[in-house]
Chain A
Amino acid sequence: MPAPSLISARDLRFDYGGESFALSVDAVEVSSGRSLGLLGPSGAGKTTLLRLLTGLLVPRAGKVWLGETEVSTLQAGMARRFRLEQVGLVFQDFALLDYLTAGENILLPGKFLSGAVASETEKRGRELAERMEIKELWNRPAVRLSQGERQRVAVARALVQRPKFVFADEPTASLDPRRRELVADVLFDYAKEAGAPLVFVTHDSALVERFDETLHVEALIR
């Protein structure tokens, strides 16, 4: 079935094997360059839905397409390759490697994608670092970064390979208001410029107005 939108999910059903949590989503559609805010209280299932949309979780039922690719049925190895090449992910816990520097963390996906980091990729990484005010931290080990700095490194890493799809799980949670706007600008601007759909999990009511669409996930808990 051809996907009319760049991110498309239909009749998604998911649970973790217990009775306390079950997610049911009839439809999610995010077009090129547009943004979807996943809203709701903690534990509502926002992260679960985001992971279903990226292929990190496999739904019990339903289908997920990213562009022409049905990620919900991709074999694990293929799904990993697809994410590395086409998906930019900002994890809730930042998921940095403490023994690498900020710069090495930013360039890590590129290194595994092509064996070596192209000078163009490194240039883009440094530009992103500058834009997110972490340029001077490029050579600092991640273990010595503050929470806010780690968060910005995680966002830069997600965007450095110019992904076709961007998923961000609370990417502004540890930031002060000025830097929250800064990081949000980077993500929204990238989505617009690259024509990439953006799915953004947040608690932050200040950001709600910036989304093209929102989805209140708490309504989906059984």
Chain B
Amino acid sequence: MSFGASANLAARYLVRHRVQTLLLASTLALVLALPVAVRLLVRAAEKEMRARAADTPLILGTRGSAVDLMLAALYFRRQAVEPLTVGQIDELRASGMADAIPLQIRFHAQSAPIVGTELEYFPYRHLHVVQGRMFTRLGDCVLGAAIAEERKLKVGDHVFSSPESTFDIAGVYPLKMRVTGILAAAGTVDDQTIFVDLKTTWLIDGRAHGHDDLTPATGADLVLMKEEGNVVGNAAVKMYNEVTDKNEDGFHFHGDQATFPVTAAIVLPHEEKGEALLAGRYLKRPDGVRLVRPAQELDTLLGTLFRLESLAVAGLALTGGCALAVGSIVFALSFRMRQREFQTLADIGISASSLRAVRVFEVILVGAAGLFLAGGLIGGLQWLAPTLVRLSLM
């Protein structure tokens, strides 16, 4: 018996029928790779979520889903979360037991979230600029490393905020924001984010605005009427959609900033005792403001995820078993259809063991190709998993 000749014959047959071979190998690869891929993605999700949650002791928010609040504060997911007010955050700060970093997560620039926050956020998440500087005035923004690379943006370029609804002409207007800095890659959701000062988000939602000067010296012809100290401009008044050195002074806020909205705040207790006291204090507030522990909420969420994972893997294993059975039938049918070919080889004098070896080598080669493809799929997924998880959480 010659194994070399049998292997060669098997390989030649498979190469000649490469489409069918690739189809079989791909099926096998999927059957093998899918359960592993599910496990891989769930583990990557768990790792990513736990790491971010572990760095975030408490989140201040209002009533509604705690999971939604956590996803908004940790992954800047634009959830329908009822906002806090600046006053409520100030109240927590005034307790002297913790610091708070506000996060306003409502707007976006195409798919990237625009997160309004304060400068304390960056050292807290170990973020630093590698190009340019932090935002210093209204309308400035700094970009996460990935979003800057994807959109080929650099310091001095501009980013427009997207309208919340295309057909809502009375809604927020796009704000042209100046890029002042690019952050170093952190391997987290921060890389995909556009950061602005909290006040800039209020500018986007119309609580602040800028327009032509209406003082008598420069804008007398722009005044429609004056009443009780208020000056009403006429239709010729130009509204600014960009903050510049020239028009910066023309921007102003309307209303009490203590009532302005903030999606959530990351709460950093000074000590354990303070954390416990705060937790008690925010247990049942009449205004619905509460503290959420991300690690706790995550355990609940992951518990559900793991149950779903087990179900998915069981289902995939069953499907895989069926696919393998079908694959075996395909081989058996193929060998049966080639009975005449094997008989020819036998008539020439090729031994039964060599012919068995041809069949075995064909199965082995297809199996090896399937394993190779599965390895490639799993390897690729392993490399991509953290990014995929991050993107899916946003």
Contact = CB atoms under 8 A, between A and B. Distances in A.
A82 B344 contact: no
B215 interface: no
A80 B16 contact: no
A161 to B, nearest CB: 10
B249 to A, nearest CB: 82
Given A91-B344, A97-B341, A99-B12, A80 B2 contact: no
B352 A77 contact: yes
B347 A89 contact: yes
Contacts of A95: 344, 347-348
Nearest to B354: A112
A103 to B, nearest CB: 12
Interface in B8-35: 8-9, 12-13, 15-17
A108 to B, nearest CB: 7
B377 to A, nearest CB: 29
A112 B350 contact: yes
A111 B349 contact: no
A112 B347 contact: no
B5 A111 contact: yes
Contacts of A97: 9, 341, 344-345
B4 A116 contact: yes
Contact of B349 (A104, A109, A114): A109
Contacts of A85: 349
B346 A80 contact: yes
Most buried by B among A82, A97, A100: A97
Contact of B351 (A56, A81, A108): A81
B350 A80 contact: yes
A87 B349 contact: yes
Given A115-B2, A115-B4, A108 B349 contact: no
B351 A89 contact: no
A81 B349 contact: yes
Nearest to A51: B347
A55 B103 CA distance: 89
B4 A80 contact: no
Contacts of A82: 349
B79 to A, nearest CB: 59
B126 to A, nearest CB: 60
Q: Is the interface of B mostly helix, strand, loop or mixed?
A: helix
B12 A83 contact: no
A109 B5 CA distance: 10
B349 A80 contact: yes
Given A111-B2, A111-B8, A115-B5, A84 B13 contact: no
A87 B16 CA distance: 29
A113 B269 CA distance: 82
A192 to B, nearest CB: 24
A82 B3 CA distance: 19
A58 B13 CA distance: 31
Most buried by B among A80, A83, A98: A80
A87 B17 CA distance: 31
B356 to A, nearest CB: 12
A84 B351 CA distance: 9
B349 A84 contact: yes
A112 B352 CA distance: 12
A56 B354 contact: no
Most buried by A among B4, B15, B17, B347: B347
A84 B4 CA distance: 17
Contacts of A87: 349
Contacts of B349: 80-85, 87, 109, 112
Contacts of B17: 99
Contacts of A116: 4-5
Contacts of A83: 347-349
A183 B4 CA distance: 32
Most buried by A among B344, B349, B351: B349
A84 B348 contact: yes
Given A99-B13, A100-B12, A104-B12, A109 B348 contact: yes
Interface string B329-343: 000000000000100
B347 A99 contact: no
Nearest to B17: A99
Contacts of B347: 56, 83, 89, 91, 95
A81 B350 CA distance: 7
Given A91-B344, A99-B13, A100-B12, A84 B350 contact: yes
A80 B351 contact: yes
Given A111-B4, A112-B348, 20 more contacts: A76-B352, A80-B346, A80-B350, A81-B349, A83-B347, A83-B348, A84-B348, A89-B348, A95-B344, A95-B348, A97-B344, A97-B345, A98-B16, A99-B17, A100-B12, A111-B2, A113-B2, A115-B2, A115-B4, A115-B5
> Top 10 closest A-B pairs, CB basis?
A84-B349, A99-B16, A83-B349, A95-B344, A115-B2, A111-B5, A80-B349, A112-B5, A112-B350, A115-B4
Interface of B: 2-5, 8-9, 12-13, 15-17, 341, 344-352, 354
16 contacts: A56-B347, A76-B352, A77-B351, A80-B350, A80-B351, A81-B349, A82-B349, A84-B351, A89-B347, A97-B9, A97-B344, A98-B16, A99-B17, A112-B351, A116-B5, A141-B16
